[in-house]
Structures are given as structure tokens and as C-alpha cells.
Structure 1
Amino acid sequence: MPVKLLSPVRLWAVLILCFGLAHQAFAFEVTDSLGVHQLKAIPKRAVVLDWDLIEQVIELGVTPVGVTNKSGYNTWVAKPLAPKQSVSVGTRYEPNFEAIAALKPDIILISEVQTDLKPLLERLAPVLVYTNFAKDQNHAQIAIKTFQQLATVFGKEQLAKQKLTKLHAHFKELREKLLKHFHGKLPQVCVIRFASTTAIFLPTENAIISYVLQQIGLKGALTQPDARWGIIQKPITYLKNLHSGYVLYLRPFYQESALKKSVLWQALPVVQQHHVLPVRAVWNYGGAMSLKYMADAITDSLLKGAQS
């Protein structure tokens, strides 16, 4: 039976169809806070404009070609440090578009507060947006969800799964250490950040700090209702409502010496009981792995300074 050959026009149409199907096969779906998107390939040249997202991608083993305010990130976030190869491209609120364009990114990651920049950034590369600190969301759970979503973007799903499994196992280890130290009866803990010598920031129910305390078995004291950034400001005298447990304050606080001379401070019951402990500097607006760093810092403070 003779074989019927396709006409040149039909052959060309078939080739175009096959090429299209092959192209689609390489594309894959990713999700950000705005919905589902198609990427043609795993990004290799990411520019990341939010510190939370910078931390997340570095923890996934990705080296962004561009980051915002690199020196500030390394000072305040610190763990993990931004890679030497990552170029600073302006600030989080005023990124340098020329510097970004020069890096020839194939993906740009921004947070919700940077969405005004999205139309301009999309002229340079696809843009993904991640909401991280909303009032009606648990900030730690969103950090974990974003970590998993970014893992899909960069083809790091297995690594993310391994890290999250280790994270929860680590929480359990810290909880057991604290139970042993306090002979099975864990104290209430109020974690604060000083705004000044007369004002403090208290964590809210949806804050990363509250999640971490829960994971390591500690009960948060004076916790406030949900808020956008996970903190509520109160006068320092508000701590008079804490009659037992410990106050842990996050460093840095550059007015510690002045605070110790304050009559208001010295009059607080928790201060008179010597139940105030410093916590080494740790970023409380970070990603999934910053939960571990926060848990480690709180646990170390209690093990070193609290009476067993």
C-alpha cells in the first residue's frame, strides 16, 4: 500500500504544532499571592527586592544575582548572609531599575508592599508577588507556605521538604531541653522589643514570635490581638501586668544603660525579681528558617539566664 506524503503546507503545520507542544511541556506552574502563573523554565538569574524573600531563596540554595540594600540585610537579618556574588540594587522602597536591568534577570520577586513597582518591573522580567505580614494571617504559617512556593519556582521542592522536617524535629528537641531545665514546669514568657526607654513592642497572636513560643512549648504572656506587622506598641509600664514568668528583650537595644537607671523600669515586679533576660539579635520578620533562629535564641537565653 503506497504511503501518502503530507503536502509541504500540512507538514509545516504539524511541525509548528509539535514545537508548540514541546514548548508547553517545558513550561510549569508556580503560585504566588496573586494566583497561578506559567514559567518557561526554572529561573537562574533572580533579583529579589524584599529581605524576607532574600532570606527564603538563600535558604533554598539559590544565589540571587541582585538584592536590595545588601549591607542593611547583612546587618539586620544576618542569617543567612547575602552571597558575595549578589549585587545590591538600591533599597527595598526605591530599587535601582538600571542596576536591575543590567543584571538581565529572568525572575523578580517582590512583596505586597512593593506592588506599585510591579508594572515597571514586568518590563524587565516576570514578577512574582508574595504577601508576608497581613493582619488576618498567621505570619509563621505564611512564611512556611511561601518557602514551599518558592521551592517550586526554583526546583527545590525536595530540599524544602527536608528542611521543614528538620525544623519541626528541632522544635521538639528545644522543647525537651526546656522541660528538663525547668523540671517539667515551663514559665510564661513575654518577648519584647524596646521602642525606647519608655515604650515597648509586644507580639500579637499572629506574630512569628508567638508561633515559635508555641512550638517550643512556652506560653506567651501579654500577647496582643492580631495586627498587620505582628506587634503592638505599649508604654513600658504595661509590663506591671506580668506577675510571674520572664521578660525576654530582643537585641540590639542601644539604650540599655539608660534603661537600667529608669525609675519606671526599676519599679516593675519582673525587674525586681531579676526575671529580665536579653536575647541575641535575631530577625523577627523573616522566612521559614528564621523560625529556627528565633527558637534557638529564645531557648539559649532561658537556659543560660533563667533559674531552674
Structure 2
Amino acid sequence: MSLPGVAAITVTDSRGQHELQTPPKRIVALNWDLAEQLLELDVVPVGVPNIKDYGEWVVKPAMPDGVDDLGTRAEPNMEKLAALKPDLILAATPQKDLIPRLESIAPVLYYSTYSKETNSAEMAIQNYRYIAEAVGKSTLAEQKLAAMDARFAELKTQLTTAFGEPLPKVAAMRFANKTSVYIYGENSTTEYALQKLGLQTALPQPATEWGIVQKRITDLQHVGNGYVLYFEPFNDAEALKKSVLWKAMPFVRLNHVNSVPSVWNYGGAMSIRYIGEGMAQSLLEIAPK
């Protein structure tokens, strides 16, 4: 039953529509992408898992001080979570099996983003709108999405000025180690950002659950005279640069390779903007003079 004078609100998640009896104020986000979505709506969650690693891998938006760390994403600390007395819990695929337990603590909204059958970027944007609806921030969400589109148009113009047309083909990836890489595929947020920048991928990959395909580093030779952008962190970069194999790659000899500052490639809607900004800036740094 809703409180006197407070109307219940109808919200949507990946399971359908739900009714929240009161507007949520104390929200726990059990996945990094969900925490990011809240922060990008100017809502600070009371609890988030694995905050230290969030700071290294997600980076933007920064996690404010005072947010409680709830352990791991797969196995959050239920006692600590309950002690926070949340009035809403946001969960994602890693917590799907925990939903019955979580619902004994507070209402749960579940958001699925990553699967082989869906476009991760489109799902992240849809979930951003759903979460905005739940926290009364729909107007802000639309403003930020419009600003993201405008920013991509601006970056595309900058790249065209620097490289001319057609724009170069780009392989966007992460290093798994010094001998293998993860290349982002057609349903990834990274591929979506490439397309918004007007870029084509140099190594097309099929859709997968997480939008990545692991390949041997030797497969990068097929990039040819295209460009390779790799996302940080990668602690073995200096050692790799000394390897004979790496130095023999065509794109390395052409200085068509650069790092991209850390950003979360499996994140929320605004991560798409940060991915695009990082890749564009990285390319502009090595553009022909």
C-alpha cells in the first residue's frame, strides 16, 4: 500500500512492468553498469559491489565517497545489503539467481543487457530510460542522450578533418595477455560507438554474449594498414612493444596503433559516449600530419 498523499509509480524492467509504492530514495546497484546509470542520472546509490575495481576499470563517472562496498557482483554481502535498508535494489544478469533472496529485502528491478541476441548499446540506452523513469529523471536522461548524439557528430567531423574520407578502418580491442586479444564484435557497445563515429571495423567479429571474441595476437596482422586501438589498463604494454612479432605488424610499422584510456566497455548508456570520446582522441593523436 502506498503512503498517504504519495502516488505509486509504474516502472519497467526486463521482466515487464511493476508498481513501486513510493519513489525510491535508498537504492542499491548490484552491477557496475547499473551504478553508472544511476550516477549519470545524478542519483548516488547507497551500496555498490567491488568499488575499488570500479575505480580502475569503469573510471567514469567516479564513485562518490560514502557509498558502501557490498563485496563482489556475483556474491554480494547480503547482511550488509540488508543493513543499508534500501527501498529499491537494481540487479543484472550476474545476480539473476539471487532475485528471490533480494526480494525479501526490498523491491528488485532486473535489467538484462548482454546477450548474443541483443545489441548491447541499444539495451543499455533502453535500460537508462527505464531506470530514469524509476527515479524520476526521464527529462535529464533525454537531455544526456541528445548531448551524446551531438558529441558523436562533433567527433565525426573532427576525424573527417584529420583523416579525410573515407575514414580509416579500426580494430578496437583489449589485451588478454601478451599473446592474445579480445576484439569487440558487432553487438558490442564499442562497435556501436565506432559506427557513431563513422568508422568501420578492420576485423569484423560476430555477435557474442559479451560482444567480444578472443583471438591470437597474430590475427592482428590482418588489420593491414588499418588502425588498432587497445583499451587500458594493460600492464605489459612496454614489454610487448619490444617483441619482434609486435614490431613486425604492418599497423605498428605505420604508427597506426594507440591506447585508449580506461573506460567500461560493458557499461551503461553514457559509457558509449566515453568509449567514443576515448577512441576519437586516440585516433586524433596519431592522425597523419
TM bucket (normalised to shorter chain) is over 0.9
Q: Which position in structure 1 is the counterpart of 2:144?
A: 163
Q: Where do 1:184-195 residues align within 5 Å?
A: 184-195=165-176
Q: In the TM superposition, what whole-angstrom CA distance separates every residue of 1:241-287 from its partner, at most 9, and x where no partner exists?
A: 12222111111111112212222222222222221111111111111
Q: Which position in structure 2 is the counterpart of 1:14?
A: none
| Structure 1 residue 25: Cα displacement | 7.6
Distance 2:136 2:251 in 1: 49
Aligned partner of residue 269 in structure 2, secondary structure: coil
Q: Which position in structure 2 is the counterpart of 1:301?
A: 282
Aligned length: 289
Residue of 191, 209, 214 corresponding to 2:195? 214
Q: Which position in structure 2 is the counterpart of 1:71?
A: 52
Q: Does 1:97 align with 2:75?
A: no
Structure 1 consecutive aligned stretches of length 4 or more whose deviation exceeds 3 Å:
20-25
Aligned partner of residue 128 in structure 1, secondary structure: strand
| Structure 1 residue 23: Cα displacement | 6.5
Alpha carbons 2:56, 2:262 under 8 Å: kept: no
Residue of 205, 225, 229 corresponding to 1:224? 205
The one-letter code of the counterpart of 1:172 is A
Q: Which position in structure 2 is the counterpart of 1:53?
A: 34
Alpha carbons 2:3, 2:21 under 8 Å: kept: no
Q: Which position in structure 1 is the counterpart of 2:215?
A: 234
Give the 3 Å change call, closer, same or farther, for CA 78–21 of structure 1 in structure 2: closer
Q: Does 1:203 align with 2:201?
A: no
Distance 1:45 1:240 in 2: 50
Distance 2:203 2:51 in 1: 35
Alpha carbons 2:162, 2:287 under 8 Å: kept: no
Q: In the TM superposition, what whole-angstrom CA distance separates every residue of 1:25-62 from its partner, at most 9, and x where no partner exists?
A: 81121111111111112100001110010000010011
TM-score normalized by the length of structure 1: 0.90
Distance 1:125 1:146 in 2: 20
Q: Which position in structure 2 is the counterpart of 1:244?
A: 225
Residue of 238, 256, 270 corresponding to 1:289? 270
Larger RCO: 1 or 2 (CA < 8 Å, sep 6+):
2
Q: Where do 1:148-159 residues align within 5 Å?
A: 148-159=129-140
Q: Does 1:36 align with 2:38?
A: no
Distance 1:121 1:225 in 2: 35
Distance 1:147 1:76 in 2: 20
TM-score normalized by the length of structure 2: 0.96
| Structure 1 residue 21: Cα displacement | 10
Instruction: List runs of 5+ in structure 1 lacking aligned partners.
Output: 1-19
